[in-house]
Structure 1
C-alpha cells in the first residue's frame, strides 16, 4: 500500500536518512520514537507537504513522489486537530467535500454518515471552542476520513487528551479502523499506545528507522540498546557469553551469571523485561533456569503496578501488581529471590 525507498531529506537543522518502509494494505502501522526523531516530518513527506530529494514514495502502486498533497488521496490529522474555529462541526467536516466540488446531495450524505460513524451527530452546530478534547479529536478524524482517503496519517492524535480520554480514543481508533479498513500510519512517542494499536511498529531515532516488527518483536526482541531502553526494558547488561550445550552462560560481572538461549558467544548485551521476572520470599520450583537471591533496594509505585529493584550483585527491576506487593509484604531491605527463564533473556 505505502512503499518508501531510500527516502532522504535535509533541513537546516535536521535530516531524514535512507528511510525504507513497506506498509501493507489495511494495516494499522505505528511509528514510535522519542521527541525530535523525525516522525512528523516523515508523515509530512508522505502527505506531500515536502518533496524528498530524488527518492520514491508509492501509494497503492502509484508513484506520488512529486505529486501535490491533494493528488495523493491522503487524510492527515495533526496533534492540535487544526479545526477551523469559525466553522461548526458539520462545516469543518464538509469543508473538504465542498472544496473538491462534490454534489450537494453527496456532501450532505457523506457528512452525516461520517458523523454517525464517530457518534458526533449531536454536535452538528457546535463550534470547536465549545468541544472537549475528545470531541475535537473525533471531529478532526471525521474530517480526515470523509473524503475516503487511501491512507490516513495521524500525528500524535491522542497525546493532548487526559488519561481516561486517551484510553477511550484508543478503543475508538481501533473500532474505526476495523470498520473502515483504511490503511493507517500513526505517529506516537507512547509505548503503550503503540503496542495496543499497532499491527506492526517502526521505531525511529535521529531521522532513521532502527527496527520494524510486530509489537512482540519490538518490545521483547529489540535489535539495539537504544530500542531496548526506549521500549522500557530496564534490565540491560553487558557480559561475556560462552555456549555450554543447549544454552549460553553469560557472565555480567559481580559474580552474576545468566543462562540464555542464544548461539552468540563473546561480548554481548542482554535484555530482560521487568515483567518476565518472578519475585518470591522463598526459593520456588520453576522451569526458569535463572534463580538468584538478593535484597530489595527500592520500591516505586505507579497506578496499579509496583517496580521493585533487587540487588543480587547487579540491580534487577521487577514489575508486579500492588496487590502482590501487599500480599508478599515486600519492603526495602528484605531478602528475596528472583527467577526468570533462559528464553526471557534477549541477546543483542
Structure 2
C-alpha cells in the first residue's frame, strides 16, 4: 500500500523559499490545505501539488479515471467524460485553466472536442474579469471578460455550453 508523504510546514517553507510563518498564514487563509493531527499540522504531497497547480493558474482540478473508446481517450470524472490526450492509464488528475474555457449560448462546429452543456451556478466579478462557475455534472470555472458576460447576458441559472480543446486538459499522476 502506498503511503502518502506528509510534510511539516517547515519543509514546505523550505521548498517554496518562504518563512514558516507565511506557510501557517497560507493554511489559515485556506490557500494551502493541511491536515490537523492533534496539535500538529501536516501537508500531504497531494495537497502541496494542488497548491502549486492553483498557484500557476490551474483551478479546475479533478480526480479522473481514464478510458479509451474508438481510439479516443476520456477522463471520467463522475458521470462527466472529458476528451484528453495522454499516454497515461488508470487513475489520474486532470486540470483545465479557466482562461482556456469558452462559454457559448449554443453549439457550433469547431476543433474543440469538449462541448458540455451546463447551468451557471455562480459568477464572481473582479475588475474587468468574470469567473463563471458552471455545473456540467461537476463544477467548472471559466474566466471571461465582464464585457462578454454582459453581451452574452450570462446570469445565474443561465443554460450555457462549456467548450475547450483536448490539448487544454493537463493530465498527470
Q: TM-score, normalised by structure 1?
A: 0.37
Give the match for residue 157 of structure 2.
333
Q: Is the 8 A contact 2:114 2:164 kept in 1?
A: yes
Give the match for residue 252 of structure 1.
77
Q: 1:14 aligns with which of 10, 16, 21?
A: 10
Q: Is the 8 A contact 2:86 2:171 kept in 1?
A: yes
Q: 2:59 aligns with which of 211, 220, 234?
A: 234
Q: 1:315 to 1:16 in 2, by over 3 A?
A: closer
Classify the secondary structure of the residue corresponding to 2:157: coil
In the TM superposition, what are the counterparts of 1:247-286 in structure 2 within 5 Å?
Answer: 247-253=72-78, 255-286=79-110
Gaps of 5+ in 2: 1-8, 23-41
- Structure 2 residue 141 is the aligned partner of structure 1 residue 309: no
**TM-superposition CA deviations, 1:222-254 (whole Å, max 9, x none):** x9333212223111111100234654211100x
Distance 1:322 1:333 in 2: 17
Shift in Å, 1:36: 3.4
Give the match for residue 167 of structure 1.
none
Give the number of aligned pairs.
Answer: 141
**TM-superposition CA deviations, 1:137-187 (whole Å, max 9, x none):** xxxxxxxxxxxxxxxxxxxxxxxxxxxxxxxxxxxxxxxxxxxxxxxxxxx
Distance 2:136 2:17 in 1: 32
- Structure 2 residue 120 is the aligned partner of structure 1 residue 296: yes
Q: Which runs of 4+ in 1 moved over 4 A?
A: 15-19
Gaps of 5+ in 1: 1-12, 20-32, 40-205, 211-222
Q: 1:36 aligns with which of 11, 15, 19?
A: 19
Cα RMSD (Å) of the superposition? 2.9
